[in-house]
Amino acid sequence: MFRKLFTLFILLALFSFVAPVFAYYSPGSPAGFVNDFAPMMSDGARTQLEQKLVQFAKDTSNEISVVTIASLKGDTIENFAEKL
């Protein structure tokens, strides 16, 4: 009995250290097709790109989003994009 409890305790301890590594942080609330959270773009470039992507969505019914962030903070780009 003691051995099973000890093993369970060790497993729980190991998993508690893994979870924070992949903790998601939100850079902000996405709005529109262009979200420059890094910030890397000028206001003019961001506005121009937003207009082009809006027109592209109207013409093709396909949507493209552009997001810039400073760091993934250890997460994968797939996980980050899914949670964004």
Is pTM, for the whole model, over 0.75? Answer: no
Measured CA angle at 66 (ends 60, 72), to 5 deg: 145
Q: What pLDDT digit, counting tens, does each position of 22-71 carry?
A: 566 678 888 999 999 999 999 999 999 999 999 999 999 999 999 999 98
Q: What is the pLDDT of residue 58?
A: 97
Q: What is the pLDDT of residue 76?
A: 86
Q: For the chain, what's the residue count?
A: 84
> Which residues are paired to 36 by β-bridges?
68
To which H or E segment does residue 6 belong?
helix 2-18
pLDDT higher than 70, residue 15: no
Confidence class for position 5, pLDDT limits 50, 70, 90: low
